[in-house]
């Protein structure tokens, strides 16, 4: 790829030479026709000859470079050098003798030879025109797909990578290629007026080369920021149930829309464990009403939004300041890739990032002169899940200080979420813009439970026979005390009883027996595991507590096997005939996993780690 664009860059240099030679010939012609005084002619001739010598030096360097790029470019470069040498010889006659006694002779010589020199310069101009035509033909062939597949492939590769990375590019390189090619081809059409002069050609080729190089650097720079599983935590968050969470935009209690439209600083979403904070944050991040309100705030300025979801059970980058800052910077630069060359050009893509460098980079971008033309809104979920080291529970002040500092300027604001831990209460409780999620989700929970029950055919029949079933949703929500996870787990348990057509009294007693607190509820879930499975369950849960990254689901085959069933090897799974067989294999393991660990462990069927570990487990 680099070689292909090197050829384009050299061609742009040659086009610049043609433009410069043309100007030098014109200036030389004017100097020969000049009616100025001898001394002024002498001075201007010296300047002009100096310019020619400068370009001669550059031409020699260009010839050396072109020797590696094929005969056509090399011939063009040699012709450039020859034209410049010829021009140098013609202009050298304008030099005046250093001895004042011979100045009169030089003056007479200039006068007698001026007509002949004008003819010589005209011949040079003719040579230049022929060379110009050759150059245009070369550029036309170079930009045609069928004539120069290497360059075209390199252009498409850069465009394709930019598209796959979602880099905000105004015009694709291939579109620029086609535009230049169209202008060149229009010139060769009969009766078509000239549409691109030498200056324009040199400028367009130079701009094309610079744009390609800039895009290549942008892609490399962004790749240095991106890390594996950058969006994994957010992707794992369940989507909001239909017809829920609209109160965030419509309810007066949230004051969210006014904050989006005209507020500043921080907006705090606090809530108990399992209260649905992450689901809410996921819902509002890219919601069209969020973006509409933010555009009102941004006005004529560019609007950039970014998000990050901390995950204490994830990798280091998923629970650290480095992960947060790299993710934010990555999203900012995707939206405004020109910021890379404008503000971060001193960094190489191969350099590693320290936390301090990342902080400085984010502040440089958000607080530079573009702060008057760009506004930023960041959504940061799960501050309580921040965990840079083993003592991270004592270090949440670091993340609080960082986010407070980032939001300290008028063009940046943050929507953050966390549990109501003391460090967060101390810092954020006095904020004007905040909500407690568990205080606002009661109606949403009833909608969810009723929807889950109403889609079950047995529930419909049971509720027709005993209307008390219809009151179960209200009872569940009342007992949940705002904890969505409790509602989800209890509803799943009761649906099992409903599927078994149990009477209302059984369901009511079971609901009454569920502990209100999640920790106690999890204890009940563990106690309900059958004795025959408890040894394997303990192994699975202890392993999941120790692993730092994702645990491959296929490894459960080893933990779940018994002495009568031999261990299946990964290659045997992939030898299974068709995707259906593979999915059936994992459905079987998922069912067994559920009986051993209840709902505490789930297989993430959306993640494909690599060819041997197609799915992973999390809890």
User: What is the per-residue pLDDT across 404-456, written as a single tens digit (0 to 9) for each?
Assistant: 999 999 999 999 999 999 999 999 999 999 999 999 999 999 999 999 999 99
CA distance 544 to 554: 14
Of residues 334 and 155, more confidently modeled: 334
Enumerate the β-bridge partners of residue 306: 378
Q: Contact, 107 vs 49, CB < 8 A?
A: no
Instruction: Note whether 222 and 396 are within 8 A (CB).
Output: no
What is the average pLDDT score of the chain? 76
Highest mean pLDDT among 84-93, 110-119, 338-347: 338-347
Tell me: the pLDDT tens digits for 35-72? 554 445 445 555 555 665 665 566 566 556 655 555 66
Overall residue count recorded for the chain in this entry: 619
Per-residue pLDDT, 390:
58
Count other Cβ atoms within 10 Å, centred on residue 276. Answer: 30
Distances (CA, A) of 447 to 245, 282, 506: 11, 19, 23
Structure tokens given for 513: 């027996």
pLDDT above 50 (res 105)? no
- Rounded to 10 degrees, what is the CA torsion of 519, 521, 526, 530? 170
Contact 29, 92 (CB under 8 A): no
Average pLDDT over residues 517-534: 78
Helix/strand/coil for 281: helix
pLDDT digits (tens, 9 = 90+) for 3-14: 555 666 666 666
Mean pLDDT of all residues in 93-114: 50
Q: Which candidate, 214, 216, 224, places its Cα nearest to that of 350?
A: 224
Select from 227, 418, 214 the least CA-distant residue to 331: 227
Query: 334: which 2 tokens?
Result: 């995707």
pTM: 0.72
Tokens of 498: 């409903």
Write out pLDDT tens, residues 566-601: 555 555 544 545 556 667 777 777 777 777 776 677
Q: How confident is the model at residue 371 (pLDDT cuts 50, 70, 90)?
A: low
Residue matched to tokens 């001669």? 56
Token pair recorded at residue 231: 């969006």
């Amino acid at each position: 790829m680099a070689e292909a664009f090197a050829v384009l860059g050299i061609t742009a240099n040659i086009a610049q030479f043609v433009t410069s030679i043309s100007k030098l010939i014109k200036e030389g012609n004017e100097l020969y026709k000049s009616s100025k005084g001898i001394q002024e002619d002498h001075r201007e001739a010296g300047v002009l000859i100096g310019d020619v010598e400068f370009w001669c030096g550059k031409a020699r360097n260009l010839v050396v470079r072109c020797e590696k790029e094929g005969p056509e470019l090399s011939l063009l470069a040699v012709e450039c050098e020859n034209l410049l040498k010829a021009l140098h010889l013609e202009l050298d006659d304008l030099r005046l003798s250093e001895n004042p006694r011979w100045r009169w002779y030089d003056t007479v010589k200039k006068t007698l030879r001026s007509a002949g020199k004008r003819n010589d310069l005209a011949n040079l101009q003719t040579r230049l025109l022929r060379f110009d035509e050759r150059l245009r033909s070369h550029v036309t062939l170079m930009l045609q797909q069928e004539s120069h597949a290497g360059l075209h492939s390199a252009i498409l590769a850069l465009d394709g990578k930019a598209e796959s990375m979602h880099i905000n590019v105004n015009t694709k390189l291939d579109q620029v290629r086609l535009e230049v090619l169209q202008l060149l081809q229009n010139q060769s059409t009969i009766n078509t007026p000239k549409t691109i002069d030498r200056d324009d050609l040199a400028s367009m080729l130079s701009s094309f080369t610079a744009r390609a190089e800039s895009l290549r650097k942008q892609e490399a720079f962004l790749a240095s920021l991106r890390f594996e599983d950058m969006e994994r935590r957010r992707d794992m968050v369940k989507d909001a149930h239909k017809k829920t969470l609209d109160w965030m935009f419509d309810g007066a209690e949230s004051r969210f829309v006014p904050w989006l439209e005209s507020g500043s600083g921080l907006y705090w979403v606090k809530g108990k464990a399992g209260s649905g904070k992450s689901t809410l944050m996921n819902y509002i991040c890219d919601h069209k009403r969020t973006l509409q309100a933010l555009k009102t705030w941004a006005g004529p300025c560019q609007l950039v939004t970014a998000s990050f979801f901390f995950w204490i059970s994830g990798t280091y980058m998923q629970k650290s300041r480095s992960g947060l800052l790299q993710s934010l910077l990555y999203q900012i630069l995707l939206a405004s890739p020109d910021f890379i060359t404008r503000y971060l050009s001193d960094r190489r893509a191969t350099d590693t990032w320290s936390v301090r460098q990342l902080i400085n980079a984010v502040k440089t971008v958000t607080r530079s002169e573009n702060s008057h033309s760009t506004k930023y809104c960041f959504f940061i979920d799960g501050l309580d899940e921040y965990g840079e080291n083993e003592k991270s529970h004592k270090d949440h002040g670091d993340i609080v200080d960082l986010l407070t500092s980032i939001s300290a300027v008028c063009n940046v604001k943050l929507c953050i979420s966390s549990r109501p831990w003391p460090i967060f209460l101390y810092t954020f409780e006095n904020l004007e813009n905040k909500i407690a999620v568990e205080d606002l989700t009661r109606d949403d929970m009833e909608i969810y439970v009723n929807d889950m029950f109403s889609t079950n055919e047995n529930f419909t029949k049971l509720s027709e026979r005993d209307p008390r079933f219809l009151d179960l949703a209200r009872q569940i929500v009342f007992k949940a005390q705002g904890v969505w996870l409790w509602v989800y787990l209890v509803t799943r348990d009761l649906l099992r009883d409903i599927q078994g057509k149990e009477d209302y009294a059984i369901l009511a007693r079971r609901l009454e027996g569920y502990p209100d607190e999640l920790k106690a509820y999890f204890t009940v879930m563990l106690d309900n595991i059958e004795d025959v499975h408890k040894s394997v369950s303990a192994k699975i849960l202890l392993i999941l507590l120790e692993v730092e990254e994702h645990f491959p689901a296929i490894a459960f085959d080893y933990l779940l096997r018994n002495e009568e069933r031999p261990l299946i090897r990964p290659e045997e799974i992939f030898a299974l005939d068709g995707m259906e067989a593979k999915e059936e294999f994992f459905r079987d393991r998922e069912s067994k996993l559920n009986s051993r660990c209840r709902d505490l462990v789930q297989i993430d069927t959306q993640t494909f780690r690599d060819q041997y570990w197609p799915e992973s487990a999390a809890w």
